[in-house]
């Protein structure tokens, strides 16, 4: 049976809103996602344990220290700087981003002003930081690391109820409602536990550009993803295409399968079978599943049409790899169906 891991600290993150194409709108990445999933798992009889605190070894193996320090400190600096009451900015909201368009090949000075530093490691305006963001993100990491520990100790499947999600977080950047990359950290932890090669299969509706970036040139970790085609106008827009396969010694260890809007179970399950077969060819010793369920038919964040049965079959396909498996919660935003979709996937994974 699958063991689920969670932390009450993951409820602390309250993004408050998203700023999407310049408009402040209510966000869908809400704390209720955790309680809905947790309560459904409990009602289903799946054992739930609290995350154990871990050090930063695996975290700093996939994220740059200066980025982690920034994320840990930026809210307090924002609050101390008076932005909150004076400007009505109840969350850290970047307004300038040091991209190549601005840098133009020049060396940039490290800004002093907090409002300038706000965009230093962020790549969108959707992903706001509040007083509970760092505690929640760090607690999600502990949940992922606890799941990796359980699998390394002999459990076949362990599920980390991570919030906020993580697969859009890059080595030195946050965005896409993601701050720290829980799946990448779990994969690194499994490597540290002695598994020579690890595969990550991402079933979130959106491409995990952060996970791909972290392992882009590492031949020891395979990344495979089925997701809504970014060419159809969906996040992350710039990545997730079929011609992205890794670089250098890692060429061939990335497989992206973009799917057309309105794709339903048959197309989805065919893509998962391809990912399963590619993973088998890679011959990993352990598996991480980025378990997003926002490809579901009722989810507001994608135009895919996957059913609960489709998610159960997804789990069954991945279970056929017969690998020690860590499942990491990513997206999924339709609260009435969220718990069922996660539970169905876990039942499939546990077959």
Express the helix, strand and coil content of the chain in percent, nearest 5 each: 40, 15, 45
For 13-57, the pLDDT digits (tens) are: 999 889 989 898 999 999 999 999 999 999 999 999 999 999 999
Two tokens, residue 93? 């909201």
Which tokens go with 247? 């670089």
Domain annotation covers residue 125: no
Could you tell me if 88 and 230 lie in one domain? no
Shared domain for 151 and 136, answered yes or no, is yes
pLDDT confidence tier of residue 82, bands split at 50, 70 and 90: confident
Are 180 and 140 a contacting pair, CB within 8 Å? yes
207 and 95 in a common domain: no
Please enumerate in sequence order all residues whose Cβ is within 8 A of that of 266, keeping only pairs 6 or more positions apart, or say none.
Answer: none
Task: State pLDDT tens for residues 124-162.
Answer: 999 999 999 999 999 999 999 999 999 999 999 999 999
Calpha distance 349→150 (Å, rounded): 16
C-beta of residue 39 within 8 angstroms of C-beta of residue 27: no
282 and 153 inside one domain: yes
200-217 tens-digit pLDDT: 999 999 999 999 999 999
Q: What range does the domain containing 202 cover?
A: 3-64+130-349
Number of structural domains (the chain) is 2
Asked whether residue 23 falls in the same domain as residue 55, the answer is yes
Catalytic residues: 168
């Amino acid at each position: 049976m699958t063991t689920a891991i969670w932390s009450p600290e993951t409820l602390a993150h309250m993004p408050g809103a998203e700023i999407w194409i310049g408009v402040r709108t209510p966000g869908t990445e809400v704390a209720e996602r955790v309680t809905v999933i947790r309560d459904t798992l409990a009602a289903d009889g799946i054992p739930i344990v609290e995350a154990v605190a871990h050090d930063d070894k695996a975290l700093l193996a996939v994220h740059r220290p200066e980025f982690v320090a920034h994320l840990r400190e930026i809210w307090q600096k924002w609050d101390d700087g008076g932005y909150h009451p004076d400007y009505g900015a109840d969350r850290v909201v970047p307004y300038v981003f040091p991209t190549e368009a601005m840098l133009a090949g020049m060396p940039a000075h490290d800004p002093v002003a907090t409002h300038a530093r706000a965009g230093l490691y962020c790549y969108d305006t959707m992903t706001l930081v509040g007083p509970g963001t760092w505690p929640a993100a760090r607690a999600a990491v502990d949940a992922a690391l606890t799941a990796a520990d359980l699998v390394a100790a002999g459990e076949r499947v362990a599920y980390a109820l991570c919030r906020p999600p993580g697969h859009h977080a890059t080595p030195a950047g946050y965005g896409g409602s993601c701050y720290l990359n829980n799946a990448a950290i779990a994969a690194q932890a499994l490597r540290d536990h002695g598994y020579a090669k690890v595969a990550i299969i991402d079933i979130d509706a959106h491409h995990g550009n952060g996970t791909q970036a972290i392992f882009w040139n590492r031949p020891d970790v395979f990344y495979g993803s089925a997701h809504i085609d970014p060419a159809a106008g969906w996040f992350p827009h710039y990545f997730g295409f079929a011609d992205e396969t890794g670089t250098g010694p890692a060429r061939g260890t990335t497989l992206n399968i973009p799917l057309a809007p309105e794709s339903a179970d048959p197309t989805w399950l065919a893509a998962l079978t391809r990912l399963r077969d590619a993973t088998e060819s890679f011959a990993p010793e352990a598996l991480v599943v980025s378990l997003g369920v926002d490809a579901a038919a009722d989810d507001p964040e994608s135009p895919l049409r996957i059913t609960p049965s489709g998610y159960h079959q997804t789990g069954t396909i991945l279970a056929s790899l017969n690998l020690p498996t860590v499942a990491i919660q990513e997206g999924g935003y339709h609260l009435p169906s969220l718990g069922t979709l996660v539970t169905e996937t876990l039942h499939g994974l546990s077959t």
